[in-house]
């Protein structure tokens, strides 16, 4: 495992996991942008910022802390509001597909909060 991390040129496994989370969030937001036929531009902004945050966390840049902090508030609001209205419209478990979508939004909001707290607590370790 240590050899794999050294090949990836990342110093710590925790920042690698956070970088993977933000890269996956960027892909998911890009997918939502494509599904909306490029009409939902905030998803494009979230995707771009998520990819930038993933790169910054992967390379442990100091500015990545600020990107994560800036990205948390609109992303958590978007995820929470979308989850709330989707649950109100569909209920929580009308089908397996909608349940998975609701769980994905729930994990997105929770992991956004966890990453904000973790990166803010470890901000001195970024160069």
CB 102 within 8 Å of CB 87: yes
Distance CA 108, CA 113 (A): 9
Mean pLDDT of the chain: 88
- Please give the helix or strand (H or E) that residue 66 lies within, else none: helix 63-90
Cα→Cα distances 82→5, 36, 91, 95, Å: 36, 15, 13, 17
Please give the Cα distance from 18 to 99 (Å, whole number): 24
Instruction: Quote the pLDDT of residue 42.
Output: 87
Where does the pLDDT of residue 126 fall: very low under 50, low under 70, confident under 90, or very high at 90 and above? confident
Q: Domain coordinates of the chain in residue numbers?
A: 11-122
Q: Hey, what are 92's tokens?
A: 């929580």
The pTM of the full predicted model, rounded to 2 decimals, is: 0.83
Average pLDDT over residues 47-69: 92
Segment 74-93, tens digit of pLDDT: 989 988 998 999 889 888 77
């Amino acid at each position: 495992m240590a050899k794999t991390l050294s090949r990836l040129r990342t110093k710590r496994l925790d920042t690698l996991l956070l970088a993977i989370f933000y890269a996956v969030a960027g892909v998911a937001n890009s997918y939502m942008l494509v599904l909306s036929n490029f009409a939902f531009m905030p998803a494009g902004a979230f995707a771009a910022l998520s990819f930038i945050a993933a790169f910054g966390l992967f390379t442990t840049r100091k500015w990545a802390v600020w990107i994560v902090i800036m990205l948390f508030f609109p992303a958590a609001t978007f995820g929470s509001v979308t989850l709330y209205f989707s649950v109100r419209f569909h209920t929580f478990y009308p089908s397996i597909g909608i349940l998975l979508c609701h769980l994905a939004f729930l994990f997105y909001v929770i992991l956004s909060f966890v990453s904000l707290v973790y990166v803010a607590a470890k901000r001195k370790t970024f160069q």
